[in-house]
Amino acid sequence: MAVIRPIVLHKARFVLDALEHYDIRSFADLGGSWGVNGGYSYQAMLAFPIERAYMVDDFDPQHLHERFKPYANFSIIKGSFGLPETVRALPDVDALFLFDILLHQVDPDWGNILEFYAPKAKTILIYNQQWIGSANTVRLLDLGAEAYLANTPFAAGDPATARAAVDQIYAERRSRRDRFGGKNREDWPDIWQWGITDPDLIAKMWSLGFKLDRMENYGLFSPAMKHFENHGFWFSRRG
């Protein structure tokens, strides 16, 4: 059964303000289906005269098709957005939405995802759980089981259940499974993978030809996780 959560109001406002500011008429939402049923794309379609829009995701439930059925200008590109063929299938657009996805990306890593898609858009909107626990970006699994447990959503769960889940991930981390393209368990996107710092993200985007136009800090992701904050970024192509 699909999990459908309500959209976050400040995140919706973040999107709508950007659409108006940049006069966006086309966009692609990467990985925006799971949990919110394409909610931020839907808000954009309702509020602005969007000419073309795309959902790029390997999670493709029927209720997503039903929600966007009235919009002939909305297309679903089904596939992992980290695969070269998925990147090629997406036409150029005014803007990309990358919400809550970068910290999950390994093989290809979060920086590779940005490299793949940066040529596709003039504006990139990123909302990510950003790491404030050290000066540099970290691979969370490399911190060890105790630190991983304390710095991921497992920290807010039942202690015994969370401990068992984390221990299982570490026990199986080098095993290859028939999921997510046959990746090792440690590289699956269903767990938190990265603590990405703001300077590293901004520097990466600068290296790809984008400047930071706006940044918002929306506070801690969870009271149980003092090293992660929700940050929003508007990036636009330089020149």
For the segment 30-80, what is each residue's pLDDT rounded down to a tens digit? 999 988 999 999 999 999 999 999 999 987 778 888 999 999 999 999 999
Domains identified in the chain, total number: 2
pLDDT tier at 235, thresholds 50, 70, 90 = very high
- 62 and 180 in a single domain? The answer is no
Beta strand ranges found along 135-224 (DSSP E) = 138-139, 194-195, 210-222
Q: Residues 111, 214: one domain?
A: yes
Q: How distant, in Å, are the alpha carbons of 11, 167, 209, 210, 236 from that of 239?
A: 27, 49, 9, 9, 9
Q: In this structure, are 181 and 119 located in the same domain?
A: no
Question: In whole angstroms, what is the distance from residue 143 CA to residue 161 CA?
Answer: 20
Q: Is residue 3 part of a domain?
A: no
Do 61 and 152 have their domain in common? no
Phi first, then psi, for residue 95 (nearest 5°) are -145, 150
Range 76-101 average pLDDT: 96
- Judge whether 57 and 76 are in contact, CB under 8 Å: yes
Claim to verify: residue 68 and residue 177 sit in the same structural domain: no
How far is Cα 192 from Cα 72, in angstroms, rounded to an integer? 35
Q: Of 71, 22, 79, 77, nearest to 43 (Cα)? A: 71
Write out the two tokens for 183.
């990746």
Q: Which CATH number do you get for residue 55?
A: 3.40.50.150
Structural domain for 178, as ranges: 141-186
Q: Is the pLDDT of residue 138 over 80?
A: yes
Does the model's pTM come out above 0.85?
A: yes
Instruction: Examine residue 78 and state whether it is found in any structural domain, yes or no.
Output: yes
Greater pLDDT, 178 or 156: 156
